[in-house]
Amino acid sequence: MWGSVLTVFLLETLSVGCSYSAAGGPQSSKLQKVLGRGKLIVGTGSTNVPWHFKNEKGELVGFDIEMGRILAQALFGDPNKVEFVEQSPDARIPNLLVDKVDVTFQFMTISPMRLQQVAFSIPYYTEGIGLLLPAGGKYKNYNELAAAQRRGEKVTIAILQNVDAADIVQRILKGAKDDQYENQGLVYQAINSRRADAGAVDLSSIMWLASKEPEKYLNSGFSVNPQNYGAAMRSDDQVWINFVNGVLLDAMTGATYPLYNAAYAKWFGEQLPAPVIGKPSMYR
């Protein structure tokens, strides 16, 4: 069923691309080029768990990698018809602009400044800053931390050093002490050694660690500072942008949702519910 739905969508999108070319637009959409090439080229990273990193076999894995494979599945009916180009964060936009990659999946935050240079898909994940707790520590969740702070206990939160660190800690828990470190590894060390009661880190990292090492870490159940991650593309090919958006929308809310849900459970340790039948969920 999933294949037939995507095939119909693909044919409709291609017909739009062909008519646009006949009307004097670009001679060939990226969609047509990718189909003709027989593989998708995705820009991504290789050093950030659980988004994009190398496993013990040296293979690229992670949630961003799964998103690239979902797109390849939609294009070719084969999630392996994709080539991943490893790139540094500062190469994400340049590589798109010179057509080195077709699309970038690299936990790239959608921002007004970046939107002036590239197009973004609909968000495929919303990141936030959460609190990571040590398993076996004094507190089991955010409510216990907040209650302790209200009782006058001085709660200490480890966080990566930056100009907004103190303000972020106060937004998370007013009155808490911020303990700032120069790299993320030291934040985890502070949690492990109990020098800090909790660590303020990306929610995706918290979900990954709490699911993979439950004997060591807990998710407090609290997060702030939402920011959307989207697939980045050149902004001059609306046919390709529409196709990527359609694939991601269907993967999160439609017929192909098991692909997205399986990836989410694998890398974030959380089982998502199936889409609700009836009025689309984003309009409820």
**What DSSP string runs through 157-210?**
EEEE--TTHHHHHHHHSTTPEEEEESSHHHHHHHHHTTSSSEEEEEHHHHHHHH
Amino acid at position 221, single letter: G
- Are residues 142 and 35 both part of a single domain? no
Mean pLDDT value across the chain: 91
- Are residues 211 and 236 both part of a single domain? no
Kindly state the average pLDDT of the residues 73-89: 98
Q: For residue range 218-233, what is the model confidence (pLDDT) as tens digits?
A: 999 999 999 999 999 9
- Are residues 147 and 221 both part of a single domain? yes
Kindly state the average pLDDT of the residues 106-117: 98
Q: Are 60 and 52 in contact (CB under 8 A)?
A: yes
Please indicate whether residue 260 or residue 8 has the higher confidence score (pLDDT): 260
Residue 11 has pLDDT above 70, yes or no: no
Residue 181, number of CB atoms within 10 A of its CB: 19
Please report, rounded to a whole number, the percentage of residues in the chain having pLDDT higher than 90. Answer: 87
Q: Give the CATH number of the domain where residue 58 resides.
A: 3.40.190.10
- Are residues 17 and 91 both part of a single domain? yes
- Are residues 102 and 241 both part of a single domain? yes
Distance CA 203, CA 135 (A): 17
Domain with 34 in it: 2-124+230-283
Show which of 199, 226, 253 is a domain's final residue: 226
pLDDT at 27: 56
- Are residues 148 and 71 both part of a single domain? no
In sequence order, what are the residues at sequence separation of 6 or more whose Cβ sits closer than 8 angstroms to the Cβ of residue 32? 14, 17
pLDDT at 6: 47
- Calculate the CA dihedral of residues 264, 267, 271, 272 and round it to 10 degrees: -20
Kindly state the average pLDDT of the residues 78-86: 98
- Are residues 150 and 216 both part of a single domain? yes
Assign 1 a pLDDT band (cuts: 50, 70, 90). Answer: very low
Show which of 196, 226, 256 is a domain's final residue: 226
Q: What is the CA radius of gyration of the chain?
A: 21
Distance CA 156, CA 134 (A): 13
Assign 198 a pLDDT band (cuts: 50, 70, 90). Answer: very high
- Are residues 211 and 183 both part of a single domain? yes
Q: For residue range 149-158, what is the model confidence (pLDDT) as tens digits?
A: 999 999 999 9
Q: For residue range 40-57, what is the model confidence (pLDDT) as tens digits?
A: 999 999 999 999 999 999
Show which of 226, 249, 270 is a domain's final residue: 226
Assign 124 a pLDDT band (cuts: 50, 70, 90). Answer: very high
130 by Cβ neighbours in 10 Å (0-12 / 13-18 / 19+) ranks as buried
**pTM of the complete model beyond 0.95:** no
Strands 156-160 and 177-181: parallel
Domain count, the chain: 2
Q: For residue range 164-183, what is the model confidence (pLDDT) as tens digits?
A: 999 999 999 999 999 999 99
Assign 283 a pLDDT band (cuts: 50, 70, 90). Answer: confident
Assign 131 a pLDDT band (cuts: 50, 70, 90). Answer: very high
